[in-house]
Structure formats: structure tokens, C-alpha cells
């Protein structure tokens, strides 16, 4: 694919994401076709997530409701870094090259991203991926580490009482 064609595809992807996403913004969109495909899939999932975000436990969404998180998707081709900005618990922006000063970094593989997005119970799929080690989360700041500890404590309590 030529660089001008790649730029045109990226521009159309950004236009589609911003228009169809109801204000969802994607920055720094100089992407490969695979990255564009992943962002389109994430956009669709984001619309569903944002619709149901208010139903998620506050101890999960609250610590990150107005923060930036980096998602590192590792594959044999390298690492795709996607910055995700939350506002009032909902996803409002993607940055295809990561966020400045993310509070946490989530690392996983493309298969796990897909599993969470297609699951009928994405919260449980994400939690299972954390338990089996296919998702790792690292606090990037002191506050991020503290907030991540609160979330992990909540998961521990859920495990303890059998939820």
C-alpha cells in the first residue's frame, strides 16, 4: 500500500470514527490497515461500553472515570499502543500513539482484546483475563497504583464471596 493510500485510509477511518462515534475522537491516526481494523472494532465496542458504563460497579469505573489509560496490544508484528481517555466514566477519545501521562498501562494480546469485545459478559471476560495473566495492568503514577490496588481489592472480594 502506498503512503498516500495509507494516509487516505487513515483519514477516512478517523472521519468515520468521529462521525459514527457521536463525538468520539481519534488522534494521531497514521495507522496500518490492521490498526485501522482494530480501532474500528474498538469503536463499535466503545459505543456499547459507553451505553452500559453506568451499570458497571463504581469501584471499577470510578478510579479511572476522568483519566487516561494506555492499552498495549502485543503481537508478533510489534506493539500497538492505544491511548484511551475517559470522561465521566465513558470513553471519549482514542490516541493511536498512546496518551501523555497515562495513569495505568494495560498490556494484552489481540486475541484477548477480541475475546473481551465479543463476550456477552465483557466484565467477566476481562476479569478472567486478569486472573489467567493474559491481561496485566501496571500503575504508571502513584495515584494510578493506588487506584489499581482498589480495583484489585474489589476483584479479590468478589472472588472471596464467590461472585
- Weakest-pLDDT range from 61-65, 123-127, 128-132: 61-65
pLDDT at 16: 35
The CA distance from 52 to 66, in Å, is 17
Closest CA to 148 of 59, 51, 86: 59
Report the residue count for the chain.
Answer: 163
96-121 pLDDT, tens per residue?
778 889 999 999 998 898 888 888 88
Average pLDDT over residues 71-87: 85
Domains of the chain: residue spans and CATH? 3-161 (3.30.1050.10)
Q: Return the percentage of the chain with pLDDT > 70, whole number.
A: 79
Cα distances from 9 to residues 12, 23, 95, in angstroms, run 5, 20, 16
| pTM assigned to the model | 0.73
Mean pLDDT across 115-135: 87
**pLDDT at 139 exceeding the cut of 60:** yes
Phi, psi of 12 (to 5 degrees): -65, -35
Angle between helices 110-118 and 33-52 (to 10 degrees): 40
Amino acid at each position: 500500500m502506498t503512503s498516500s493510500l495509507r494516509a487516505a485510509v487513515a483519514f477516512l477511518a478517523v472521519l468515520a470514527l468521529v462521525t459514527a462515534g457521536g463525538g468520539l475522537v481519534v488522534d494521531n491516526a497514521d495507522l496500518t490497515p490492521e490498526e485501522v481494523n482494530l480501532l474500528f472494532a474498538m469503536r463499535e465496542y466503545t459505543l456499547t461500553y459507553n451505553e452500559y458504563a453506568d451499570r458497571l460497579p463504581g469501584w471499577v469505573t470510578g478510579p479511572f472515570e476522568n483519566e487516561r489509560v494506555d492499552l498495549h496490544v502485543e503481537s508478533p508484528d510489534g506493539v500497538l499502543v492505544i491511548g484511551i481517555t475517559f470522561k465521566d466514566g465513558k470513553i471519549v477519545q482514542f490516541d493511536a500513539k498512546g496518551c501523555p501521562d497515562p495513569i495505568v498501562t494495560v498490556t494484552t494480546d489481540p486475541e484477548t482484546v477480541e475475546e473481551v469485545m465479543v463476550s456477552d459478559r465483557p466484565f467477566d471476560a476481562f476479569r478472567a483475563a486478569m486472573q489467567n495473566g493474559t491481561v496485566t495492568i501496571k500503575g504508571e503514577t502513584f495515584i494510578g497504583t493506588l487506584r489499581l490496588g482498589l480495583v484489585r481489592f474489589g476483584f479479590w472480594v468478589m472472588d472471596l464471596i464467590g461472585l
